[in-house]
């Protein structure tokens, strides 16, 4: 869009400067509009990605993208929130109706929220302590050989 114009006097120079400034303003407003449209188009997939990545552990994603509802949940809770509804709806209750599946979804979300890594660890520790033998044994008397008061002399 380059044009070679010959400018003969100061008035033509000022008119050319005004024309170029107006062209610059038009291009800037057009680019601002295009950037706004691109941001709106990218916002939908970005929100979807934020929702899908919110159940990942917090160390792998930046804190500004984490959801406030998952601030007290760990990786086990987040994994259960995803897998429990899948197991119930796709494997156990295939032919259940919409209302039953919705109630199961609600119940499984509440159950997954109640289960966290500490509770599972505590349960495993209690089971392991029940299975393991006690380590408190009586110390055995030391055997020093033949007792001194024996009749062997």
How much is the pLDDT for 54? 74
If asked whether residues 80 and 119 sit together in one domain, one would say: yes
Q: How many domains does the chain have?
A: 2
CB-based contacts of 115, cutoff 8 Å, min separation 6: 76, 77, 80
Q: How many CB atoms lie within 10 A of CB 93?
A: 13
If asked whether residues 124 and 84 sit together in one domain, one would say: yes
If asked whether residues 75 and 38 sit together in one domain, one would say: no
Q: Is the pLDDT of residue 138 over 80?
A: no
Overall pTM surpassing 0.85 (yes/no): no
If asked whether residues 83 and 114 sit together in one domain, one would say: yes
If asked whether residues 80 and 128 sit together in one domain, one would say: yes
Tally of CA atoms within 13 A in the half-sphere of 145 that contains its CB = 2
Q: Is the pLDDT of residue 6 over 60?
A: yes
If asked whether residues 97 and 48 sit together in one domain, one would say: no
Across residues 24-39, what is the average pLDDT? 93
95 assigned to some structural domain: yes
Q: Is 67 in contact with 54 (CB distance < 8 Å)?
A: yes
How sure is the predictor about 20, in pLDDT bands with cuts at 50, 70 and 90?
very high
Across residues 28-53, what is the average pLDDT? 85
Q: How far apart are CA 87 and CA 107, in angstroms?
A: 13
DSSP code at position 49: H
If asked whether residues 77 and 128 sit together in one domain, one would say: yes
83 assigned to some structural domain: yes
139 assigned to some structural domain: no
How much is the pLDDT for 27? 96
Structural domain boundaries, residue 47: 9-54
How much is the pLDDT for 18? 95
61 assigned to some structural domain: no
112 assigned to some structural domain: yes
């Amino acid at each position: 869009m380059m044009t070679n114009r010959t400018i003969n006097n100061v008035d033509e120079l000022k008119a050319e400067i005004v024309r170029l400034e107006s062209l610059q303003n038009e291009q800037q407003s057009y680019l601002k509009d295009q950037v706004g449209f691109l941001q709106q188009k990218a916002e939908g997939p970005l929100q979807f990605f934020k929702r899908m990545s919110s159940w990942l552990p917090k160390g792998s994603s930046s804190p500004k993208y984490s959801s406030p509802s998952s601030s007290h949940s760990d990786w086990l809770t987040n994994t259960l929130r995803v897998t429990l509804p899948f197991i119930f709806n796709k494997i156990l209750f295939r032919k259940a109706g919409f209302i039953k599946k919705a109630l199961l979804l609600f119940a499984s979300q509440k159950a997954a929220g109640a289960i966290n890594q500490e509770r599972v660890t505590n349960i495993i520790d209690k089971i392991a302590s029940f299975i393991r033998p006690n380590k408190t044994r009586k110390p055995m008397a030391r055997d020093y050989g033949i007792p001194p008061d024996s009749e062997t002399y």
